[in-house]
Amino acid sequence: MPPKVKTEQEKQQLKTLIIDAARDLFVTKGVDAVSMREIAKRIGYSATSIYLHFADKETLLRTICDADFLALAGTLRSIMQIEDPVDRMIALGKSYAEFALSHPNHYRMMFMTPHASCKPEDSSLEQNNAEQDAYLQLKTTVIAVHEAGRFRKELTDVDLIAQTIWAGMHGVCSLQITMSQDAWVNWSDINDRLTLMQDVLISGLVNKD
């Protein structure tokens, strides 16, 4: 079964084959509910073959998340072209939420579980860390809104503002991801909850005019 000497391209091809199969299963069944054997079976390999390309399950998951967060950063980047900074801020929040709810397992890993492996050597200054990227884009937009004088006068700490916006959107998304199944709360429609949160954030932070 093992034909030899794969070109680098073929290797990468198999790697993304694994990634795509794993992501599909992770997203639909949840990371913990998917075994390496199941991933392998889907692509017609044995489970141990995956270990020739990824150190372990955690690394595989991490690789998938990195790729998807890169995609998120790309999506957000295109939003940065919106001229009006308040509109931009709203669009960022909406796009962020869409990502969170359509990739709940990735979102859970990046923002709802402690990052064990944040080695200091990882955080080189010029890394294109997608997390950092996303936060920076929000902060940049918040600064723009601030410089346009459109926040309430007493609000001057842009980090505090950005983190509050982030927390608001994160709260709705993470609550949805972990608790939307619980039947003892009469959950409103998730879109209504997102919209109201954005309205509240805007009308609570931005100047009336």
Our finding on whether 160 is near DNA (CB under 7 A) is: no
Judged by beta carbon distances under 5 to 8 A according to partner kind, the member of DNA, a copy of itself, none in contact with residue 172 is a copy of itself
Whole-angstrom distance, CA of residue 65 vs CA of residue 200: 31
State which residue, 105 or 141, has the beta carbon closest to DNA. Answer: 105
Told to check if 5 binds DNA by CB under 7 A, we report yes
- CA distances to 7, 77, 141, 157 from 71, rounded to whole Å, are 27, 10, 19, 29
| Site pattern 7..46 for a copy of itself (x: CB under 8 A) | -------------------------x--------------
Q: How far apart are CA 83 and CA 75, in angstroms?
A: 16
Task: Determine the interface stretch with DNA among 55-63, 77-85, 101-109, 131-139 (rule: CB under 7 A).
Answer: 55-63
- Which residues are within 8 A (CB) of 201 and not within 5 positions of it... i.e. 6 or more apart? 93, 164, 165, 168, 169
Other Cβ atoms within 10 Å of 94 Cβ, number: 15
204 binds, among a copy of itself, DNA, none (CB under 5 to 8 A by kind): a copy of itself
Closest C-alpha to 2, from 10, 173, 65, 189: 10
Print the SS3 string covering 54-100: CCCHHHHHHHHHHHHHHHHHHHHHHHCCCCCHHHHHHHHHHHHHHHH
Which of residues 61, 182, 207, 209 is near a copy of itself by CB under 8 A?
182
182 binds, among DNA, a copy of itself, none (CB under 5 to 8 A by kind): a copy of itself
174 and 111 in contact (C-beta within 8 Å)? yes
Query: Of 34-42, 43-51, 80-88, 112-120, which segment contacts a copy of itself by CB under 8 A?
Result: 112-120
Q: For residue 21, give both structure tokens.
A: 């199969």
- Interacting residues of 62 by C-beta distance below 8 A, sequence separation 6+: 109, 117
Q: Kindly state the smallest distance separating residue 124's Cβ from DNA, in Å.
A: 23
Residues of the shown chain interacting with DNA in the complex, contacts defined by CB under 7 A = 1-6, 11, 14, 34-38, 40, 44-49, 51-52, 55-58
Residues of the shown chain interacting with a copy of itself in the complex, contacts defined by CB under 8 A = 32, 111-118, 120, 123, 127, 129, 131-132, 135, 157, 159-161, 163-164, 166-172, 174-175, 177-179, 181-188, 192-193, 196-197, 199-205
